[in-house]
Amino acid sequence: MAVSKTTIKKNEYKLKGSLRKTGFDCWRYFFIGKNVATGKEECFFIELLIENPAVSPSDFVLIQKSRPKIKVEDLQAALAGNTEIQGQSAEEAVVPSFVAVRAGVYGDKRKQINRFYNFNELQIDKKCFSLKVAENIFTDDELNGSLSLSKSESVKFPEYMSQNGSIQWNLRYERKIDFPEIVSKEDSAWLPGGVLTYFTGSVVLDNEEYTVSPKLCFGYSDKHWGKSLPNPYYHLSSNKMTSIFSGKLIENAGFVVKGQYGQKLCVLCRFGDEEFNFSTSGKLKKYEVIYDCAPVPGEESEEQLHWTVSLNHSNYVCDIDIFCSAKLMMVRDYESTEGNHKVYKILSGYHGNGEIRIYKKIKKNLELIHHAKIENCISEFGTIDEAK
| 8 A C-beta contact, residue 131 and residue 138 | yes
Distance CA 68, CA 110 (A): 34
User: Helix (H) and strand (E) counts for the chain?
Assistant: 4, 24
Q: What domains are defined for the chain?
A: 5-61+96-386 (2.40.370.10)
Q: State the pLDDT at residue 258.
A: 95
Span 115-138, average pLDDT: 96
| 8 A C-beta contact, residue 210 and residue 37 | no
Reported pTM: 0.91
User: pLDDT band for position 342 (50/70/90)?
Assistant: confident
Q: In 150-229, where does DSSP find H-type helix?
A: 151-156
Span 163-185, average pLDDT: 94
For the ranges 48-52, 248-252, 285-289, 382-386, the lowest mean pLDDT is seen at 382-386
The residues facing 148 across adjacent strands are 166
Task: Express each pLDDT in 73-109 by its tens digit.
Answer: 544 554 555 545 444 444 566 899 999 999 999 999 8
Q: State the pLDDT at residue 183.
A: 87
Q: State the pLDDT at residue 77.
A: 52
